[in-house]
Chains A and B, each alone.
Chain A
Amino acid sequence: MAYQLYRNTTLGNSLQESLDELIQTQQITPQLALQVLLQFDKAINMALANRVRNRVNFRGSLNTYRFCDNVWTFVLNDVEFREVTDLVKVDKVKIVACDGKSESTQNKNDKW
């Protein structure tokens, strides 16, 4: 199962909102919506792994860090993100990172 990590992105949220609207109007069932989201997880994970090939550097100051359930969450301040061509500066950024190594054996939303 692919990470459900990417559901909280512009792409993922807009999909979830759209699905919610369809559920509201009862055009689809919640079960179907869930299936769609699972499919989305697969697709986005694949796309990121295969279709994206760029590198970014960043530098800032670390405000907080947390490591729980194999998920790192950082909050950085005054960060500069640099790619070859451009630079983006932000006052504050939150980074959520799942384990990139043994992805196939992990599911972020596993319930014990």
Chain B
Amino acid sequence: MLRYQQFIVTKHSSHPVILNKESRKTPRAVNVDLQSDATLQVDISDALSERDKVKFTVHTKSTLSNFKQNEFSVVRQHEEFIWLHDSFVENEEYAGYIIPPAPPRPDFDASREKLQKLGEGEGSMTKEEFTKMKQELEAEYLAIFKKTVAMHEVFLCRVAAHPVLRKDLNFHVFLEYNQDLSVRGKNKKEKLEDFFKNVVKSADGVLVAGVKDVDDFFEHEKTFLLEYHNRVKDASAKSDRMIRSHKSIADDVNRIASTLYTLGTQDSTDVCKFFLKVSELFEKTRKIEARVAADEDLKLADLLKYYLRESQAAKDLLYRRGRALVDYENANKALDKARAKNKDVLQAETSQQVCCQKFEKISESAKQELIDFKTRRVAAFRKNLVELAELELKHAKGHLQLLQSCLGVLKGDT
């Protein structure tokens, strides 16, 4: 039974849509705006974390006739999501769309390592300390777990919300086929192939990007996205570091609270009351600090990470268009040459037409996609920044109240 909350923004609404997910047992509270996606609603209703893999239960509700039922669920693993994403990327038909970025691989390594270390160090600490640390690590594990579920869900929802991608056959198979898709992760050879492909692609990308675009809109977008992507990357890294420091502080305060408690119980003088009261206070405030870190992570770091990936996807779109443009121009040149030599003219003409169509098709949809990207981005940032500020305020006020009440008691005692 997992509860998690996240954000997605549909293509058609200008306001963010919040989907509250609860466990299957309770009714799903959905807050949709304007265009209801009743035709196709996808979510991850459950997830199970096993030793080295996570099993997601993908739940679909649809009125579309393609599906055999109106409501059904399947179990999918991370590799299957990647397979789906890659199939979109490789599909020429979708060249003109921003492909929703693939969710990152679930990474429990750090958490698992910590849990293991804790197990090893069990002998060296008191029972209370051990239980406390265990609880914390479990909470951390749960948080990472929730995040990975959220990211996989966002991917699916984006696909479901896209007017073209939602019709994709692979997508339907993914949603409906309740057997294992027999998709295996890439083996070493394939990973190496991918690596080379990427190298070639980035080299090509530089070439293509160097070509000045006639269209102002796209030229502007190119410059903008390049810079934006880099800066988001930087901001994402810095926000991660900031949040890690916050977590460290919460851990320190936790240790301080424990030691103060011991001091308080040991001390025979007047000051023992102080120690105990402050220990109690720090126990509570450290929880708040941990929540602040977690909320910043969710509202700020995750936001930046997501838009890092999306801006990359947008860049990829621009690259494809640029590539198509270069191809088109080359085809034009080839046609001219063929006409001049009067050799293979028909072939050249067909080739040129194909390139032209391709290019125009991409350009048309790309423009809309990029505009939507901006809309989504602005809305998501707005929502998250507002929520971030509200949560920071809430926590600070709670923290302040605890401090003041403790001070009141202590000052009264002296």
Is B a genuine binding partner of A?
no
